[in-house]
């Protein structure tokens, strides 16, 4: 086994952070307020080019590409400002875990993550002096396809790297050669025998020079499944573990949870105009539910579905470099649509470039999306309009990077000055688009349809030459006539 120079083959301590990346927290639906940690056995360390064994009879071996921080000098109760001076350097790591035996560990991860070879490190150490802790990049490939691509800026990490070092030093002495695994971004998933996983960490200097850890390569092989139930817990999986290991229900091949709108509800919402639904929401104190400024690419379009959200931030060249390429948040969102969902995009009303084009529209349609609503622009607008329903503020031929950086999905977004949460009900027609809280949808819909029936009857009376006074809305004699008409239907 060969570990990077400066990293002992048997570090004194390997300390791992549970969750540190915003993307991972969003994927899991839980954002920690403070960092938390677990220990891995030093005997789990491996070098680049080695194999990792998935025991026979197990199925949930998951990779986690990570940045490993290697301590260079003893750190005890150091400040966040001083913490990086105690770091020797950074390198690539893979925090493998066997989810089949995770439950008995109850959060310690001892058995699931400390097996021999489950902490590959290397192949090279980037000196701390050349590794700005806020400008690192972590990428992971499985069989040559990039699956993780994230960075260490303040917007990407919940807890920055110096803070993690300083926090740990409050509670124990960090010694030279100790290794801190600093968490994995979104994209971690399951691998099987025959798969090859590569992880690389890069650091970019102020003058643009890039230093790399090199690619840490690990190949998965089938190992013996020699668990003795007379000694302790043996492998066992359930649906929750399977979803955690794969990263999503879709990736795990599990059916979507039954949170889609029923066919009957969709049919009724399709019949209900946004004007009527908006009026009912306002009568219940909800005045800010209109997604302003958006219109259908093709008049006469109707959208009904539940929101899947995607957020763009204003373009900044360094952030687009770290977040705009590879399997970015935009591609991940369009790749994980469930049937009946509406992609709602926060683009800040900035229409100076497209927020989707024909390829993403085709992907959304193939997955059963109900449509897309964006308060930004659309490329390939003629083609997109013929693929699926889309509401937007403008058409624009420019690519995403001119104005936007794809940042995150499945979070609260502000689209057209309306707050939209994942799972909110979206209804859009020629009058515009509105957001309905899921717990109010049946109540609001029934009231809107009832009002639509009343307004239809009133319109017939006005068309017949009757004055509006007392008729709109019906009062007195007109109210009685309407009730009689309704009862006779």
CATH, residue 369? 3.50.30.40
For 317, phi then psi, to 5°, come to -55, -40
Query: Three-state SS string across 16-37, please?
Result: EECCCEHHHHHHHCCCCCCCCE
Residue 417 forms part of a structural domain: yes
Instruction: Return the H-helix or E-strand segment holding 50.
Output: strand 50-55
Sign of CA pseudo-dihedral 53, 197, 115, 190 = negative
Residue 219 forms part of a structural domain: yes
Please give the Cα distance from 71 to 74 (Å, whole number): 7
Q: What is the pLDDT of residue 222?
A: 94
- Who has greater pLDDT, 200 or 460? 200
Residue 42 forms part of a structural domain: yes
Cα–Cα separations (whole angstroms), residue 121 to 45, 54, 218, 274, 482: 7, 18, 10, 56, 77
Domain match, 230 and 273 both: no
Domain match, 331 and 375 both: yes
- Using a pLDDT cut of 70, give the percent of the chain over it: 98
For 345, phi then psi, to 5°, come to -110, 125
Q: What is the pLDDT of residue 259?
A: 64
**For residue 473, cis peptide bond before it (omega within 30 degrees of 0):** yes
For residue 258, what are the contacts with CB-CB under 8 A and spacing of at least 6?
none
Last residue of a domain, one of 442, 461, 484: 442
Residue 178 forms part of a structural domain: yes
Last residue of a domain, one of 189, 213, 246: 246
Mean pLDDT of 430-442: 93
Residue 295 forms part of a structural domain: yes
Domain match, 194 and 55 both: yes
Lowest mean pLDDT among 13-27, 108-122, 253-267: 253-267
pTM for the full predicted model: 0.57
Burial class (CB in 10 A: 0-12, 13-18, 19+), 363: middle
pLDDT digits (tens, 9 = 90+) for 302-349: 999 999 999 999 999 998 888 888 778 899 899 889 899 999 999 999
pLDDT digits (tens, 9 = 90+) for 223-251: 998 788 888 888 888 777 888 899 888 88
- Who has greater pLDDT, 470 or 412? 412
Lowest mean pLDDT among 11-25, 378-392, 409-423, 458-472: 458-472
Last residue of a domain, one of 402, 422, 442: 442
Q: What is the pLDDT of residue 65?
A: 98
**Domain count of the chain?**
2
Please give the Cα distance from 31 to 218 (Å, whole number): 30
40 pLDDT higher than 90: yes
Residue 300 forms part of a structural domain: yes
Helix axes 441-463, 263-271, angle to 10 degrees: 30
Residue 161 forms part of a structural domain: yes
1 pLDDT higher than 80: no
Cα–Cα separations (whole angstroms), residue 117 to 49, 103, 113, 329: 11, 21, 9, 31
Domain containing 381 equals: 263-442
In the structure encoding, which two tokens stand for residue 248, read together? 């999503």
Q: What is the pLDDT of residue 103?
A: 83
Domain match, 275 and 341 both: yes
Domain match, 120 and 235 both: yes
pLDDT digits (tens, 9 = 90+) for 125-144: 999 999 999 999 999 999 99
Alpha helices in 308-435 (DSSP H): 317-323, 329-335, 358-366, 381-385
Mean pLDDT of 10-14: 93
Domain match, 294 and 430 both: yes
Domain match, 209 and 287 both: no
In the structure encoding, which two tokens stand for residue 417, read together? 């000055």
CATH code for the domain in which residue 225 is found? 3.90.850.10
Domain match, 178 and 108 both: yes
257 pLDDT higher than 70: no
Domain match, 224 and 267 both: no
In the structure encoding, which two tokens stand for residue 10, read together? 């048997």
Domain match, 218 and 273 both: no
Q: What is the pLDDT of residue 258?
A: 56
Q: How much of the chain is helix, strand and coil, in % rounded to 5? A: 30, 30, 45
Domain match, 166 and 292 both: no
Mean pLDDT of 156-176: 97
Residue 156 forms part of a structural domain: yes
Sign of CA pseudo-dihedral 115, 116, 118, 119 = positive
Please give the Cα distance from 404 to 401 (Å, whole number): 5
In the structure encoding, which two tokens stand for residue 144, read together? 């040559």
- Mean per-residue pLDDT over the chain, rounded: 91
Q: Show the beta-strand stretches assigned E in 170-287.
A: 179-181, 190-191, 196-204, 210-212, 216-223
Q: What is the pLDDT of residue 8?
A: 73
Domain match, 156 and 287 both: no
Q: Which residues of 23-46 are buried (b: 16+ CB within 10 A; e: fewer)?
A: bbbbbeeeeeeebeebebbbebbb
**Residue 458: how many CB atoms within 10 A of its CB?**
18
């Amino acid at each position: 086994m060969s570990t990077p120079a400066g990293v002992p083959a048997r570090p004194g301590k390997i300390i791992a952070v549970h969750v540190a990346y915003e993307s991972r927290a969003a994927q899991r639906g839980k954002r920690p307020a403070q960092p938390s940690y677990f220990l891995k056995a030093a005997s789990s360390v491996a070098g680049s080019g080695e194999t990792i064994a998935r025991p026979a009879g197990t199925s949930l071996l998951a990779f986690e590409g990570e940045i490993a921080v290697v301590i260079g000098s003893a750190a005890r109760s150091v400040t966040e400002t001083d913490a990086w001076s105690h770091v020797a350097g950074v390198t690539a790591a893979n925090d493998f875990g066997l989810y089949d035996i995770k439950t008995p560990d109850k959060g310690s991860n001892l058995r699931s993550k400390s097996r021999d070879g489950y902490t590959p490190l290397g192949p090279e150490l980037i000196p701390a002096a050349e590794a700005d802790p806020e400008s690192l990049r972590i990428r992971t490939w499985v069989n040559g396809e990039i699956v993780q691509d994230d960075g260490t800026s303040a917007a990407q990490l919940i807890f920055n790297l110096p803070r993690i070092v300083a926090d740990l030093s409050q509670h124990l002495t960090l010694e030279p050669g100790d290794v801190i695994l600093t968490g994995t971004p979104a994209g971690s998933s399951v691998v099987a025998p025959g798969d090859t996983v590569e992880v690389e960490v890069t650091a970019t200097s102020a003058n643009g020079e890039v230093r790399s850890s090199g690619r840490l390569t690990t190949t998965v092989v089938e190992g013996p499944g020699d668990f003795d139930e007379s000694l302790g817990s043996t492998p066992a999986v359930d649906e929750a573990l399977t979803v955690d290991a794969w990263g999503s229900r879709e990736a795990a091949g599990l059916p979507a949870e039954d949170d889609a709108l029923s066919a009957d509800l969709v049919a009724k919402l399709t019949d209900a105009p946004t004007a009527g639904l908006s009026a009912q929401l306002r009568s219940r104190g909800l005045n800010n539910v209109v997604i302003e400024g958006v219109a259908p690419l093709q008049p006469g379009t109707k959208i009904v579905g539940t929101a899947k959200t995607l957020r763009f931030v204003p373009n900044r060249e360094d952030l687009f470099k770290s977040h705009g390429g590879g399997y970015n948040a935009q591609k991940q969102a369009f790749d994980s649509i469930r049937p009946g969902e509406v992609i709602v995009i926060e683009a800040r009303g900035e229409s100076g470039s497209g927020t989707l084009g024909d390829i993403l529209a085709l992907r959304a349609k193939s997955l059963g999306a109900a449509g897309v609503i964006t308060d930004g622009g659309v490329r390939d607008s003629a083609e997109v309009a013929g693929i699926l329903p889309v509401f937007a503020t403008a058409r624009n031929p420019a690519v995403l990077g001119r104005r936007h950086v794809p940042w995150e999905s499945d979070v609260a977004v502000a689209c057209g000055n309306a707050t939209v949460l994942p799972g909110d009900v979206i209804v859009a027609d020629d009058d515009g688009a509105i957001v309905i809280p899921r717990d109010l949808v049946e109540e609001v819909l029934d009231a809107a349809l009832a009002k639509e029936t009343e307004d239809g009857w009133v319109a017939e009376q006005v068309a017949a030459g009757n004055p509006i006074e007392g008729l709109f809305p019906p009062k007195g004699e007109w109210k009685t006539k309407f009730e009689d008409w309704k009862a006779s239907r």
